[in-house]
Amino acid sequence: MKRTMLGRAPTTSMITGSIAVAFVLEMLPWGGFPAPDFLALILVFWNIFQPRRVGIALAWLLGLLMDVHAGSLLGQHALAYSILSYGAIALHRRLLWYSLAGQALQLLPLFFLAKVIVVLVHLFFSGVGPTWTFFVSPLLTAALWLPMTIGILNRLNRPQSSTAAIGR
């Protein structure tokens, strides 16, 4: 088993930037196509690799922002992202012992649970049930775990440039 670790600590601007990019991707109009939950994906990544810096409170705040953006019931995404972050933080030590594909399989139920929470709250208050995209979105989110994690870990494990190493 290969343990996945960060080569160096990510900067605050890297964490903030990745969350901002995920939030912008969530705002894109997907035209009815089942889109992965980019914000949930990046939240789970930072919950696993930096649980003390990105926690449940940030997930709740980002969930409220998603509720405002989507025009949905206030607190719907906040509840789902908070529970998702709690699950990721609770599993973060165990997940690091799996390969990236194994991590994606372990995270699939968490992504599915977050989607179930959003749909149940929506169903309870509006009476409108889920469509077929309900089942596809968590699968796409888990499938994106591998390339997204490789991309961020490669960025963090890259050696610093010679000018950065000598302080220029």
Q: What pLDDT, on a 0 to 100 scale, did the predictor assign at position 101?
A: 94
pLDDT band at 5 (very low <50, low <70, confident <90, very high): low
What angle is formed at CA 113 by the lines to CA 112 and CA 115, rounded to 5 degrees? 65
Global pTM? 0.87
Tell me how far apart the alpha carbons of residues 132 and 69 are, in angstroms, rounded to a whole number: 23
88, 102 Cβ separation under 8 angstroms: no
57, 81 Cβ separation under 8 angstroms: no
pLDDT digits (tens, 9 = 90+) for 42-90: 999 999 999 999 999 999 999 999 999 988 899 999 999 999 999 999 9
Domain ranges within the chain, ordered by starting residue: 12-25+35-155
**Which of 43-62 are b and which e, b meaning 16 or more Cβ less than 10 Å from the residue's Cβ?**
bbbbbbbebeebbbebbbeb
Q: Indicate if the pLDDT at residue 35 is higher than 50.
A: yes
Which has more confidence, 56 or 5? 56
pLDDT digits (tens, 9 = 90+) for 67-76: 999 888 999 9
Tell me how far apart the alpha carbons of residues 39 and 22 are, in angstroms, rounded to a whole number: 5
pLDDT band at 33 (very low <50, low <70, confident <90, very high): confident
Q: What pLDDT, on a 0 to 100 scale, did the predictor assign at position 168?
A: 47
pLDDT digits (tens, 9 = 90+) for 110-166: 999 999 999 999 899 988 888 877 889 999 999 999 999 999 888 887 766 544 555
Q: What pLDDT, on a 0 to 100 scale, did the predictor assign at position 162?
A: 47
